[in-house]
Amino acid sequence: MAIAQTILTQNLADEIALVDALPDKLRGEALDLQHAAAFLPRVRIVSGTDAAVTKNSDLVVVTAGARQIPGETRLNLLQRNVALYRNIVPPVAEHSPDALLLVVSNPVDVLTYVAWKLSGFPASRVIGSGTNLDSSRFRFLVAEHLDVSAQDVQAYMVGEHGDSSVAIWSSISVGGMPALKSLRDSHRSFDEAALEGIRRAVVGGAYEVIGLKGYTSWAIGYSVASLAASLLRDQRRVHPVSVLAAGFHGISDGHEVFLSLPARLGRAGVLGVAEMDLTEAEAAQLRRSAKTLWENCQLLGL
């Protein structure tokens, strides 16, 4: 609900439709938001257990996903998520054939591929939230290290969302200056141990929050709302999101794999993907991520 709440408070939509398999919880959440109407922008909130309530949507955000059972294999979890998506994506695509599809469920890269296959939409209209939030964590931690505002840090995590995401150290800038120069000028540590410590903190950020409060909510809400703003308002901002990556950075043209790359987003979806100037080590890590994701996608038989 943090995503819906953040989109609502940022006045990004005239109508928000909530869909869930649990009718009582769904109705309660909708009422809770509706009762705050006097304090919020005027937005119509509707809810239902059927995808018909989303008819003619401009943007559909999919957060549903099966939870991993202790001892369950990754493949079995993926297969259960595919079964879940078969019940969600085709009806949504049928009711809103011109919509943009934004996938947030994990594992987000594989499920974005699944949503693309099941929807029949062009790849430019199917986007995964990917490493947008990972990159925000990255910017925050670099900013803390340099004692600057995170808004002045330009930094990306790319590749697979999760433990194998790639920190692109070579392209970090702070206030328009390369990060290496900023670090030298401020006499702050920038050795391999410092870099790896920041990367581990980025990757482990979600685990830390989950360990402390049981789940993540607000940061992903703001992350997805930023994507919704870029898409619905045609802002053409660049976000690291899960897109069809075949042909980029040495990834095989024949590998229909989704992973995070900096992409320009607007009302038509993905308007372009930035070709980053990666080091060979960074490019090799990205290709390894792509190979692993492609192998997982092949097992699904879509």
Residue ranges for the known binding site for NAD(+) are 20, 81, 104-106
Binding site listing = 20, 81, 104-106
Domains of the chain (ranges plus CATH)?
2-128 (3.40.50.720), 132-298 (3.90.110.10)
Q: What is the pTM of this model?
A: 0.92
- Active site residues per annotation: 161
Write the pLDDT tens digit of every residue in 259-268: 999 999 999 9
DSSP symbols for 165-201: -EE-GGG-EETTEEHHHHHHHHT---SHHHHHHHHHH
Q: How does the average pLDDT of the chain come out, rounded?
A: 91
Q: Distance between CA 31 and CA 45 in Å, rounded?
A: 9
> Over the stretch 21-77, which tens digit does the pLDDT of each residue have?
999 999 999 999 999 999 998 999 999 999 999 999 999 999 998 887 777 776 788
pLDDT digits (tens, 9 = 90+) for 157-202: 999 998 888 999 888 898 888 876 666 666 555 667 778 888 889 9
Q: Average pLDDT of 213-242?
A: 96
CA dist list (Å): 76 to 62, 68, 223, 257, 267 = 20, 9, 29, 20, 36
